Structure 1
Amino acid sequence: MSENVRSFIVDEDDDGIRLDRWFQRHLPDTGYTRIARWARTGQLRLDGRRALPGARVMAGQSIRVPPIEPDQSDDRPSKPKRAELTAAENEFAQSLVIHRDRDAIIVNKPPGLATQGGTKTHYHLDGLLDALQFDAVSRPKLVHRLDKDTSGVLLLARSANAAGYFSKSFSGRTAHKVYWALVVGVPSIEEGLIDLPLARQPGSGGEKMHVDEENGATAKTLYRIVERAGNAACWLELQPLTGRTHQLRAHLSAIGFPIVGDGKYGGKEAFLTGGISRKMHLHARRLVIPHPNGSSLDVHADLPEHFIESMGLLGFDLENGFDRPLAGEKIALDKESEKIAAGRRARDRRRARRGERRNRSSQKEHDKKR
């Protein structure tokens, strides 16, 4: 059986992970029971030495994987293999790519394509990721999601290390997202902050969010009006400061301006006449996120066809969608402005005190002369 022994070299992306985790990544059909049996009998080795499933592997080490005996079986069923993609599916998936480097792939997800599978959802982006492996050692990994009917920027990590890095950016709020939306009606305030806590709506099976002042999680969204079509509709730029499920949809519906086409949150009021598409008009326009190489990724995604057509019907000019400061930049600018203003106030107080002292001195001199 020795001729069937396999040998693998640990890649840099796997440096520091547990040996059993390495098997999950690269030989997922090998169950833990089998790995433990190999370790117990001395057949599992790192650089020629016996190894336990919990051992940490290092880049460059050699992993000896013994042959699988025909009568051996794991205590869990093997995962079903993914169906091989067709030429059309490969071409479609690759046509979505708008940025690609060593660590990241960014796609412009079309509306109607789910990010991941679920109940009654069998066609999704996750199922197409084999087409986006290119020259990497494994298929890319999802690190965030977009709703099925939301289009735009979606980032994929090309390695486990990159996935961890980008995931920390999303959870740590150093990733900045900008969305464009068409909404029914026009807010009376040109730009502002929607600060309404959100929770899962009872009776919706967890599929819908609602404002819950007592038990909801903090949810904040910056918005500004880009253009308006009378009082019927407007084009909004949105910057979510938190990442709650359906945050933008729930927030805009809660303040009375549902996203055009979002019947789930806006009901019948979410649809416009005059040939405006009934599809949802919410688009992840821009993503700015730190890159593992020390730089910053800043990627824009073009609008889908139905969104562009609706913009034209409403008389909106895409040239007006200029980039304003990101949320983090705006906060920094506000703090700097406040710092400058505070300095000016302190300077004015010092001048006023000096003026008071001079006035008192002048009064004393005047009194002496009298």
Structure 2
Amino acid sequence: MELVIEADAATERLDAALARRLAGDDLSRSRIKALVLDGRVAVGGRTVTDPSAKIAAGAAVAIDLPATAPAAPGPEPIPLAIVHEDAEVVVLDKPAGLVVHPAAGHASGTLVNALIAHCGASLSGIGGVARPGIVHRLDKETSGLMVVAKTDRAHRSLAAQFADHGRTGPLERAYLAVVWGVPRQRSGTVDLPIGRNPRDRETMAVVHGAHGREAITHYEVLETYGPAQDPVASLVECRLETGRTHQIRVHMTRLGHPLLGDPTYGTGFRTKVEKLHRLAPQAAAALEALGRQALHARLLAFEHPKTGRTRRFESDPPADMASLIEALRSIG
């Protein structure tokens, strides 16, 4: 495919001129640079491979756009709970147990594989490859709302919004977590940096210094379960101001209130062992049936990449977590 444009600046960098003129055509500047370096751009009929080359006003620029390459992961017919879909984005309710992206130990059976199969030809390509744009993730055993980009334009817009963490835009992320005990302050903010655990590289931890990255979680206790003077557990809403790996799990654990069912951060706490026997049989059975951390991404809001309108989505906890909450409500 060839696209001819006219440069309209006296002298302008080739990549900048193309990015400006093709801003609405799902071609990022990095993608344009790659096309130039690959010899797919000609100025006045001559191939130019320097993205910074200056072009004169009125120069005819031709771009040879290659066909979108197939994605490396293969399509797999995995059922998805699609909440919303249009030409730019897919919003879905991820079930617990589904890995988001192929990685070591999870080469297939992932959300990416499922989305490639679901979207098919509607994926216009991210960076020239027919793949969904993952701009944020949920842990394998965390359920809830995610948004995925289908185009370069959507990928750029959503990536910028998540990088900004909603500080200057409409991005919102809220989670429901069931934790052991009740935080002393019913609402508050945990502002502690997170990084790889120096004692266990497979986990995250509060890490100060150069190896810790800013991590901010706002929380509010919504319900408590058990005797008023000494509740056994509580339902907490957590809102993210940053998006670090395992952020909520690490922060709530640092407060002394790990998530119920968390196999990584909830072990080794005396409070957990002491409180476990206080669960009514129904609640204990529901926790065992849950078999994962009690965490659900219930709210997601963002600015639509094309329309500029704020889209807001909410999701109730899935059946396993809902059963746990109902069973905890029955504790006297």
1:41-82 residue CA offsets vs partner (Å, 9 max, x unmatched) = xxx5658823234459xxx955177xxxxxxxxxxxx99954
Residue 259 of structure 2 corresponds to which residue in structure 1? 259
TM-score using structure 1 length: 0.65
Q: How many percent identity over aligned positions?
A: 28
Q: Which residue of 2 aligns with 1:101?
A: 86
Matched residue, 2:144: 152
Q: Which residue of 1 aligns with 2:308?
A: 294
Unaligned runs of 5+ in 1: 1-6, 24-31, 66-77, 317-370
Specify the alignment match of 1:322 in structure 2.
none
Equivalent residue for 2:295? Answer: 282
In the superposition, relative to structure 1, how do residues 133 and 54 fare at CA in structure 2: closer, same or farther (>3 Å)? farther
| Partner AA of 2:64 in structure 1 | I
**Match among 70, 74, 81 for residue 83 of structure 1:** 74
State which structure, 1 or 2, has the greater radius of gyration over its C-alpha atoms: 1
Which gives a bigger RCO, structure 1 or 2 (Cα 8 Å, sep 6+)?
A: 2
Relative to its length, the structure with more helix (as a share) is: 1
Residue 65 of structure 2 corresponds to residue 51 of structure 1 = no
Aligned length: 271
Segments of structure 2 that go 5 or more residues without pairing to the other structure are: 4-21, 53-60, 126-130
Aligned amino acid, residue 311 of structure 2: L
- Aligned partner letter, 1:261: G
| TM-aligned CA distance change 1:18 to 1:50, over 3 Å | farther
| TM-aligned CA distance change 1:15 to 1:312, over 3 Å | closer
**C-alpha distance in structure 2 between counterparts of 1:54 and 1:128, whole Å:** 38
Q: Tell me, yes or no, if structure 1 residue 208 matches structure 2 residue 221.
A: no
Contact 1:19–1:53, Cα closer than 8 Å, also in 2 = no
CA RMSD of aligned residues (A): 3.0
Contact 1:47 1:63 in 2 (8 A): no
Residue pairs, 1:165-244, within 5 angstroms:
165-174=157-166, 175-205=171-201, 207-215=202-210, 216-230=212-226, 231-244=231-244
Amino acid of the structure 2 residue aligned with 1:151: S
Report the equivalent of 2:105: 120
Bigger fraction of residues in strand: 2
Deviation sequence 1:75-117 (CA, Å, 0-9, x none) = xxx99954343xx43xx1xx32111123211111111111112
Provide the secondary structure at the position in 1 that maps to 2:329. coil
TM-score, structure 2 normalization: 0.72
State the AA in 1 paired with 2:90: I
Is contact 2:96–2:143 with CA below 8 Å preserved after alignment?
yes
Structure 2 residue 153 is matched with structure 1 residue 161: yes
Are residues 55 and 199 of structure 1, via their aligned partners in 2, closer, same or farther at CA, if it must alter by over 3 Å?
closer
CA drift at 1:20? 6.0
